[in-house]
């Protein structure tokens, strides 16, 4: 199926972007986010690229260069946030320290930090929405991983539009969160790969060098046996369950983190819990 049409349909069906809104596209430099930026730009949306330099040596340098050239060619504004400047360390070092001190490992730490930076910078850039390149395969992995961990609640925000403003029923405010959208939510990874190759985007197709041995990588490996329509069923069936699960499980008022002022479910946000590990170093 035509990816551009799929993206258009998802945006319309879930009302992801209103006319005139500014959309910050979170760029990793890979096929998904690059294709997403290209398609949103082509569809006429007001986009701005936002990339986090994770300090992964040559890999990061190539991604930065590729995205700088890509955005320049399309005349799309691009902001690159340097994790080292923002936080003092690169992602591999941060992950190693946090694993030792808090036994939090894999991409969880990186995900928390990236969400924190994206939210902060999207607000700085006065964005209405943050668009991420999550695709059908990512969403299937998320559903299955959460089931296997016995923590389905972790998937309650796995929807094409997250951070929805106020849920009166749940008394759950999400102020302080820039709303995140996933226009590639129902697009299989294989189709995005074909699209990026057909468009001859100058990008790297290698996986992040820091992701080795993570739970997501293991899940991805055995998930290879599933075909795209099975993945679609898993994701669509979970989407149907979300309203019921939200009523049953979601709780907690969102408040400002007492350290950084970003939204948090308790007194301190997840990112500041990670930053605590570095105070004594
Ligand atoms: Fe971070 Fe994991 Fe993604 Fe690499 S694969 S950028 S470590 S979340
Ligand atoms: Zn905080």
Kindly tell me if the per-residue pLDDT of 205 is higher than 70. yes
- 236 alpha carbon, distance to own chain's centre: 19
- Determine the atom of ligand 1 nearest the C-alpha atom of 28: 6
Give residue for tokens 């928390």.
Answer: 112
Cα distances from 69 to residues 5, 28, 75, 178, in angstroms, run 26, 14, 10, 27
Q: Which-ligand-closest: CA of 210?
A: 1
Q: Per residue in 94-129, is it b (16+ CB within 10 Å) or e — as a string? A: bbebbeeeeebebbbbbebbbbbbbbbbbeeeebbb
Model pLDDT for residues 34-80, shown as the tens digit of each residue = 999 999 999 999 999 999 999 999 999 999 999 999 999 999 999 99
Give residue for tokens 């302080």.
Answer: 176
Model pLDDT for residues 220-260, shown as the tens digit of each residue = 888 888 999 999 999 999 999 888 887 776 666 778 899 99
| Protein residue with least CA distance to atom 8, ligand 1 | 107
The more confidently predicted of residues 216 and 272 is 272
Kindly tell me if the per-residue pLDDT of 167 is higher than 60. no
| Protein residue with least CA distance to atom 6, ligand 1 | 208
Tokens coding 15: 């009302």
Residues in contact with ligand 1 by the CB-under-6-Å rule are 54, 91, 107, 110-111, 208, 210-211
Q: Does the reported pTM lie above 0.85?
A: yes
Q: Rounded distance, CA 217 to CA 144, Å?
A: 13
Q: What is the pLDDT of residue 172?
A: 38
Residue 263 bridge partners (DSSP) = 256
């Amino acid at each position: 199926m035509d990816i551009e049409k799929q993206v258009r349909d998802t945006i319309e069906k879930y009302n992801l972007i209103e006319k005139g809104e500014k959309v910050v596209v979170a760029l990793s430099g890979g096929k998904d986010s690059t294709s997403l930026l290209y398609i949103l730009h082509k569809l006429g949306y007001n986009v701005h690229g936002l990339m986090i330099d994770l300090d992964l040596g040559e890999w990061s340098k190539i991604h930065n260069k590729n995205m700088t050239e890509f955005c320049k060619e399309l005349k799309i504004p691009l902001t690159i946030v340097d994790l080292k400047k923002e936080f003092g360390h690169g992602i591999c070092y941060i992950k190693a320290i946090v694993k030792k001190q808090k036994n939090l490992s894999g991409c969880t730490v990186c995900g928390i930090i990236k969400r924190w930076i994206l939210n902060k910078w999207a607000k700085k850039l006065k964005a209405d929405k943050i668009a991420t390149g999550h695709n059908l395969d990512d969403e299937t992995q998320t559903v299955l991983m959460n089931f296997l961990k016995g923590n389905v609640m972790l998937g309650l925000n796995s929807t094409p539009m997250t951070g929805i403003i106020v849920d009166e029923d749940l008394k759950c405010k999400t102020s302080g969160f820039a709303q995140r959208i996933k226009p590639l939510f129902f697009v299989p990874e294989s189709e995005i790969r074909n699209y990026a190759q057909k468009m001859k985007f100058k990008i790297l197709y290698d996986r992040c060098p820091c992701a080795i041995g993570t739970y997501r990588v293991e899940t991805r490996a055995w998930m290879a046996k599933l075909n795209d329509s099975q993945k679609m069923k898993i994701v669509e069936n979970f989407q149907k369950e979300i309203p019921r699960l939200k009523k049953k499980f979601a709780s907690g008022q969102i408040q400002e983190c007492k350290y950084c002022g970003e939204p948090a479910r308790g007194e301190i946000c997840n990112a500041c819990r990670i930053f605590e590990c570095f105070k004594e170093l």
